Structure 1
Amino acid sequence: MTSNDNRRINRRDVLKGTGAAGLVLTAGCVSTADETPTPTESGGNGGGGGDGDTDTATPTEGGDMGGAYSIGMVNSLTGSLSAFGARNERGMELALESVNEVGIGGRELDIIVEDSESQAQAGVSAAQKLVNQDQVPFVIGAVGSGVSLAIYESVIQGTDVVQLSQNSTSPDLTNFPGLLRMSPTGRTQSTALADIISEDGYDSVAVAWVNNDYGQGLADAFVEAWDGDVAYNSPHDQGQSSYASTVSEMANSGADAWLFITYQPEFTAMAQEAYSNGYEAQYYGADSVQGSDVLSDTPEGSLEGMKIVTPSAAVEEQNYQDFAERFEEAYDQTPSSWAAFAYDCVITAALSIATADEFTGAALQETVRDVTRPEGEQVTTFAEAMDVLGEDGSASDIDYQGVSGPIDFDENGDPVGFLQIFTVEEHEYVSTGFTSA
């Protein structure tokens, strides 16, 4: 064999190995006000992927082909989306436990985590480090839609590297079939919000949206779905010290229904200023305005009756309930749908690796969609999937049913969507219904 041949990984040979246990993580965890993830031991061997420009797998550090399979994650460890990032990290940790208790042909999975700081440029820098320096063939990321799109257009597009976003919901991502995502398109949220506001008897609405791809995408989709009057429709920037002008203009619009498509810190400031000025309206919101920090930082009664539509896990399914039980035991907290999406990203990546002919971006591109296709045998855990695959199974043999629900990526890289409706009652989020997408 040539040296190049020695670096190729044959899946059948790999699957003859024994299972490996243990959790491998090469990034520290993040703490937020409402969630404090438990730190995990670090012990990975470093980047062991492909650079996306060749069909050659790169050995792990030291040239040991028996080391961990290394993939990357761009997560919001800091910045305005860090609360989502903390949930992602917990879901990721549980998924790594699930994978590494079984092993991928005797090898562990290692995830190198980099911080996007919830900003596009920092996210691009993080992805460049993962792809160019660590040479990972698979990147999970990012949280914010604008960050995911920036990473795809600046780093991923034109390579063989697989990108699977854990949380991005902007309708714009549908226009980039090479960019996969685990959470459903926000167009489904916008349509559901239009229906709910109309059913509640309102015919005029004021829409405030954060000035980025996520905000504009959901706002445009809402306006398209809404049959009534849009009395106010205006963007705002992140990180302003005050949003008094925004809520004043919403109040002056005369609309009795206010829709917020923004992030938790920005919405919290708006809610505080609206309350202090005595403005009254029926509030509605996209998923990004929901969080325990919002409740703790706004006056009791200021959000009463607010309705929020958020992507949901399939909470009535047994595999989700098993996941939720593990999550609560580990973190003393009920998981969010975002943790479930991150969990499913890791399991999907692991199954893609297990069914690929070699550990390269080109090979993973061939398997990442097929492991969740309905043509295969339904499996609900990584262990069950590996049992079905045996030594020589293929990606089309399995249909992974995620803890977040069926995935079934379509031709645009979008999954099947499932949405949950929350209403603020006595300053708590109460689930008040579900809708499919």
Structure 2
Amino acid sequence: MGVFTTASSRRSRSLTSVLSGIAVLGASALVLSACAPTESAEPNGPAEDLTLKIGTILPQSGELAFLGPPEEAGVALAVQEINEADLGITVEAIYRDSGDTTTDTATVSVTDLLSQDVSAIVGAASSGVSLTVIDQIVAAGVVQFSPANTSPAFTTYDDDNLYWRTAPSDLLQGEVLGNLIAEDGAATLGLLVLNDAYGTGLAEAVSATFEAAGGEVVAEELFNEGDTSFDAQISALTAAAPDAIAVITFAQARVVVPSLVGAGYPGNQLYFVDGNLANYSEDFEPGLVEGAKGTLPGLDISTLGNFQDRLLEVDADLADFSYAAESYDAVILLALAALAAGSTEGADIAAQLQEVSGGSGDGEKATDFASAAAIILDGGVVDYDGPSGPITFDENGDPTEATIGIYQYLADNTYERIN
């Protein structure tokens, strides 16, 4: 396992120590704000019950729509469990679509949510989409908390302390993937890259790591969201004949991967990322990507006790669980921060998020909402660790601990964790 810790100001961050296999670093989070606090509210819990209204801008449409169901299920499960606990706070969630960067769906959704006086907005999943609405959310004094944004750009973004995330920066995923490709024996690498904050940031990290390991990047082809033809990029990549190709896309992988294999490139020499690591059993011919590998932040959900079963009780049709745990933890952390602040004002919640994640360094461990809330209501400080793993926010709103899993595709084009 590779472990990274972060110690930084809003303007800088340094990454230290890498071990092996899976990796650990800072990740993502998001934001809430709503009802005004009572005058008698105390720092260690509310004087009277709080009502926290949150909105979501998670992908119901667009190139990341496959992530919407598990993320919304994670939010819904957290809301359900917080409300069932009946420990001084009730959460109301309003679900809206983020779309992708080819539309203004996210802006419309944020405008609607802000008009309903939400305290926090969970989302977007896409870094590019979040960058289109972050200023609007911050200007309203509302917390933005993303379960899946990985662009390094957010670490130093001027966000008035209102942007948080539970997913790790792509500085980590890029390092894990670049090392994986080199360790698998590739000497040359090609990249097919979505031209946005997510794609180019991740590609830069992968390339730098691969080259530091002695490899050579022989081709890097960009495309824009909304493009429908990738013939030129595929021709350039196959002409370069790299030992491996990293496919840094969203759902465009459903088009480009069969095209790459159809052009003669071996499917088992492809590498996927969190934006496209998905179940392709209904999309690809059997064996198309058997042996291909990919990376995805987060723990193996099948090892998290009954968490997967609880998600399926919320949405029985879930076939993918990517970022469900990060979405769940985002809502739990928002509720705990509101309890600790005795307030549902966005700035008050944001001021407590680092502490309830364990970032203050002196909290009592808890792994579920009820026990965590009890610590706060008893006047203590909590250090919450949830199904997404240890979080421990730094002052930038990035987690200082996270896990990157390595996965491999099977003959039926589903994937399993191998490290």
TM exceeding 0.5: yes
TM-score bucket (shorter structure): 0.7 to 0.9
Name 1:418's counterpart in structure 2: 403
Q: CA deviation at 1:378?
A: 0.4
SS of 2:295's equivalent in the other structure is: strand
Name 2:24's counterpart in structure 1: none
Provide structure 1 residue ranges, at least 5 long, that are not aligned to the other structure: 1-5, 19-65
CA–CA distance in structure 2, aligned partners of residues 241 and 7 of structure 1: 47
Counting only pairs closer than 5 Å after superposition, residues 17-416 of structure 1 correspond to structure 2 as 68-105=51-88, 107-119=89-101, 121-131=104-114, 133-153=115-135, 155-176=136-157, 178=161, 179-227=163-211, 228-264=215-251, 266-280=252-266, 282-292=269-279, 294-313=280-299, 315=301, 320-332=304-316, 336-373=321-358, 374-390=361-377, 393=379, 397-415=381-399, 416=401
SS of 1:366's equivalent in the other structure is: helix
Rg: which structure is higher?
1
CA–CA distance in structure 1, aligned partners of residues 221 and 263 of structure 2: 20
Q: CA deviation at 1:309?
A: 0.5
What's the CA shift string for 1:307-363, capped at 9, x where partnerless?
A: 00100226587xx32322322444445762411111001101111111113221221
SS of 1:234's equivalent in the other structure is: strand
Letter in 1 for 2:98: S
- Alpha carbons of 1:273 and 1:219: their partners in 2 closer, same or farther (altered >3 Å)? same
CA–CA distance in structure 1, aligned partners of residues 336 and 151 of structure 2: 26
Over 6 Å off, 4+ runs: none
SS of 1:287's equivalent in the other structure is: coil
- Alpha carbons of 1:390 and 1:279: their partners in 2 closer, same or farther (altered >3 Å)? closer
CA–CA distance in structure 2, aligned partners of residues 329 and 96 of structure 1: 14
Alignment length, in residue pairs? 371
Contact 1:301 1:427 in 2 (8 A): yes
Contact 2:301 2:307 in 1 (8 A): no
- Alpha carbons of 1:238 and 1:158: their partners in 2 closer, same or farther (altered >3 Å)? closer
CA–CA distance in structure 1, aligned partners of residues 288 and 204 of structure 2: 27
Letter in 2 for 1:248: S
Name 1:25's counterpart in structure 2: none
CA–CA distance in structure 2, aligned partners of residues 138 and 157 of structure 1: 10
CA–CA distance in structure 1, aligned partners of residues 398 and 36 of structure 2: 33
Contact 1:191 1:222 in 2 (8 A): yes
Contact 2:194 2:225 in 1 (8 A): yes
Query: After the TM superposition, which of the residue ranges 398-407 and 409-418 deviates more from structure 2?
Result: 409-418
- Alpha carbons of 1:390 and 1:8: their partners in 2 closer, same or farther (altered >3 Å)? closer
TM-score between both structures, scaled by the size of structure 1: 0.79
Name 1:56's counterpart in structure 2: none
Contact 2:174 2:202 in 1 (8 A): yes
Contact 1:188 1:417 in 2 (8 A): no
Q: CA deviation at 1:15?
A: 4.7
Using CA pairs under 8 Å that are at least 6 residues apart, name the structure with larger relative contact order, 1 or 2: 2
CA RMSD of aligned residues (A): 2.4
